[in-house]
């Protein structure tokens, strides 16, 4: 049994694999000051830690890496593999400094290449909206980092006193008849348009009609309004972690 853990700046996604099959998954808020013992207690309420044979970790929060290592050592009594420099990934990384690439971006690209072939573009709707590109040769060639939906909206609400926070939901129409409707329309159509524009530019530079796969917490909200997103794979990062674990086993 493998526990795949993707620690993002805002949310942490966990997947429990039995071989190649995803048995269960969870999505938690990322608390940057949470300790390994707190994580151990939290996990113990969701699954049987004695069943875990290994943990594969991707973390964009460096301070939490040591805490997850403590979970593996003290609570799960299992080896842990932290995705980063020196770990075999099975994908050539054509980046000026490969150490700068977030592990979540690499594992997304690995899983997308394995599941959907190459060339492929992954759009990950997280704290930032990440576009990661795998060339026709199967190489990670870089990507685009744009402000994320939630972080953008939080900044807007903080600076505009007359605007209120809204639920992230499909708008009733493009032209909003209320402030809430206008904001929801701006979120959905604005970010869908951003995706389509950036994807068009990436395809032009690649000179290839790369498939576009979306993942992340708000992917299912935006994808239906994008003309370029082909499908949503909410377990893409977890699958990438499983593949990296298998490669390094």
**Catalytic amino acids?**
104
- Rounded Cα gap, residues 224 and 170, in angstroms: 10
> Rg of the chain's alpha carbons, rounded to an integer?
19
> Rounded to the nearest 5 degrees, what angle is found at the Cα of 217, between the Cα atoms of 175 and 35?
140
Contact 124, 216 (CB under 8 A): yes
Q: From residue 14, how far is each of 31, 143, 176, 177, 199 by CA, in Å? A: 14, 25, 37, 39, 29
Ramachandran angles phi, psi of 131, nearest 5°: -110, 120
Which tokens hold the place of 39? Answer: 């994580």
Which tokens hold the place of 132? Answer: 């990661």
């Amino acid at each position: 049994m493998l526990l795949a853990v993707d620690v993002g700046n805002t949310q942490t996604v966990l997947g429990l694999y039995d071989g190649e099959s995803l048995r269960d998954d969870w999505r938690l808020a990322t608390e940057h000051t949470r300790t390994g013992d707190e994580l151990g207690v939290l996990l113990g309420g969701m699954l049987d830690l004695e069943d875990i044979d290994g943990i594969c970790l991707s973390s964009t929060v460096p301070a939490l890496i040591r805490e997850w290592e403590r979970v593996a050592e003290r609570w799960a009594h299992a080896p842990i593999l932290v995705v980063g420099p020196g770990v075999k990934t099975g994908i050539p990384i054509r980046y000026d400094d490969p150490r700068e690439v977030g592990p979540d971006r690499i594992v997304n690209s690995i899983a997308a290449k394995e599941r959907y072939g190459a060339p492929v573009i992954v759009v990950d709707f997280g704290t930032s909206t990440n576009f990661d590109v795998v060339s026709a040769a199967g190489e990670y060639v870089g990507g685009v980092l744009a402000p994320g939906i939630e972080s953008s909206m939080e900044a807007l609400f903080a600076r505009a006193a007359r605007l209120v926070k809204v639920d992230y939901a499909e708008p009733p129409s493009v032209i909003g008849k209320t402030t809430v409707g206008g904001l929801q329309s701006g979120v959905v159509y604005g970010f869908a348009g951003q995706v389509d524009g950036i994807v068009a530019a990436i395809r032009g530079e690649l000179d290839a009609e790369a498939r576009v796969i979306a993942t992340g917490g708000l992917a299912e909200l935006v994808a239906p309004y994008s003309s370029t997103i082909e499908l949503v794979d909410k377990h893409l990062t977890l699958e990438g972690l499983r593949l990296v674990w298998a490669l390094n086993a």
